[in-house]
């Protein structure tokens, strides 16, 4: 360790010496615009830090020009295939942002409530709005019927009527409508307004886990570092109501082989509800079904708005149908 550390320090010094051999004086300040009056001061600091850290990485690992240019090509391909958000999840950035949110809430004394976990890159704005209950599966796909229901409450246990439960999940092949054009727009996506008791309910089909596109740049990097690109089966939620902090979360389907091996690091113990398989013929008939179905009961606890903690509404680019 001492050796590593001194090697590292030695290399940092090497970088400074190397930069001084440049004919350009104050090279780092010029790269990041710090020697210019215009521009965003915070962005200058961040660009300078990131570029400097990458210079150090190149020096420390003696990165070859061929390796460097392959990384540039990689980023180009990543953008062209629109997988930036996918890689951000796979490299743990999105989970890391969650950890920072959690910590800020802890420091502000906010405790309890349903834990957050990552949004992921596959939400679609403006899913159809329904009151109280909804059916999410609108395409003729055969899958095990899922009934999910519960209540939205505040952290004191009071029901939150007229909250919006925005729910989205994959089909039985792990694909998300809109992004997977074999599905109709908004299949397996709805916004459900909770009733006067804060309750929501939906009928859908059990999702399969998600796998990164096998020929895409995200999977290519994961494979190159010996990782898989799979997520356990899950259902996403935004839960929001006026005067409350927006909750971004997911539930995982227990029993999935990737439950504790999610490539996006989103699993949390409190987000693995009990899953009941109902094979009672009377229950099937009552629900208009002729086969067994799965039931999940899950309540959400959301926090009241608090000025002392950063807002949980995350601003990021989102897909929008037509
Ligand atoms: C998903 O369905 C997902 O939720 C995440 C985080 C990344 C890729 C696909
Ligand atoms: Fe997902």
The per-residue pLDDT for range 153-184, each reduced to its tens digit, is 999 999 999 999 999 999 999 999 999 999 99
Average pLDDT over residues 253-258: 96
Minimal CA–CA distance to 36: which of 46, 44, 48?
44
pTM above 0.85, yes or no: yes
Query: What is the model's pLDDT at position 2?
Result: 44
> Which residues are within 5 Å of ligand 2 (an ion), measured at CB?
120
> Rounded to whole angstroms, how far apart are CA atoms 296 and 117?
19
Residue 152 has pLDDT above 50, yes or no: yes
Beta carbons of 286 and 263 less than 8 angstroms apart: no
Residue 251 has pLDDT above 90, yes or no: yes
Q: For strand 234-240 and strand 293-297, is the pairing parallel, antiparallel, or unpaired?
A: unpaired
Smallest CA separation from ligand 1 atom 3, residue: 120
User: Which atom of ligand 1 has the smallest separation from the CA of 266?
Assistant: 6
Residue identified by tokens 């951000």 is: 88
Rounded alpha-carbon distances, angstroms, from residue 9 to 12, 29, 47: 5, 21, 22
Please report the domains of the chain, with CATH numbers, ordered by start residue. Answer: 2-63 (no CATH), 93-302 (2.60.130.10)
Mean pLDDT over each residue of the chain, to the nearest integer = 95
Query: Ligand 1 pocket: which of 120, 217, 248 to mutate (most atoms <8 Å of CB)?
Result: 120
Note the ligand closest to the C-alpha atom of 94: 1
Q: Check pocket membership of 122 for ligand 1, CB cut-off 6 A.
A: yes
Per-residue confidence band for 14, with pLDDT thresholds at 50, 70 and 90: confident
Smallest CA separation from ligand 1 atom 7, residue: 120
Angle, CA 158 vertex, CA 156 and CA 162 arms, to 5°: 130
């Amino acid at each position: 360790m001492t050796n590593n550390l001194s090697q590292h320090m030695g290399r940092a010094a090497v970088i400074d010496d190397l930069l001084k051999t440049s004919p350009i004086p104050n090279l780092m300040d010029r790269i990041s615009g710090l020697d210019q009056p215009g521009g965003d001061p915070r962005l200058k600091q961040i660009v300078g830090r990131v570029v400097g850290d990458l210079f150090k990485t190149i020096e420390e690992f003696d990165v070859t020009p061929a390796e460097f240019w392959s990384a540039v090509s990689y980023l180009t391909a990543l953008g062209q295939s629109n997988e930036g958000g996918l890689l951000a999840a796979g490299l743990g950035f999105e989970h890391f942002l969650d950890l920072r949110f959690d910590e800020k809430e802890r420091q502000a004394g906010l405790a309890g409530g349903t834990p957050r976990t990552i949004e992921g890159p596959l939400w679609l704005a403006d899913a159809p709005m329904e009151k109280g209950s909804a059916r999410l599966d609108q395409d003729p796909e055969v899958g095990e019927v899922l009934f999910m229901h519960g209540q939205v409450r505040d952290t004191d246990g009071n029901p939150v009527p007229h909250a919006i439960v925005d729910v989205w999940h994959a089909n039985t092949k792990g694909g998300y409508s809109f992004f997977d054009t074999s599905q109709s727009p908004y299949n397996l996506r709805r916004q459900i307004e909770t009733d006067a008791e804060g309750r929501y309910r939906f009928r859908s089909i059990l999702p399969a886990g998600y796998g990164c596109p096998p020929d895409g740049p995200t999977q290519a990097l994961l494979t190159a570092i010996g990782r898989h690109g799979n997520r356990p089966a899950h259902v996403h939620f935004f839960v929001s109501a006026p005067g409350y902090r927006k909750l971004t979360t997911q539930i995982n389907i227990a029993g999935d082989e990737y439950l504790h091996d999610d490539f996006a690091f989103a699993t949390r113990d409190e987000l693995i509800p009990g899953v009941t398989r109902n094979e009672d013929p009377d229950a099937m008939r009552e629900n208009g079904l002729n086969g067994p179905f799965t039931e999940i009961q899950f309540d959400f606890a959301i926090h009241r708005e608090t000025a002392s903690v950063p807002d949980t509404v995350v601003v990021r680019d989102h897909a929008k149908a037509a």
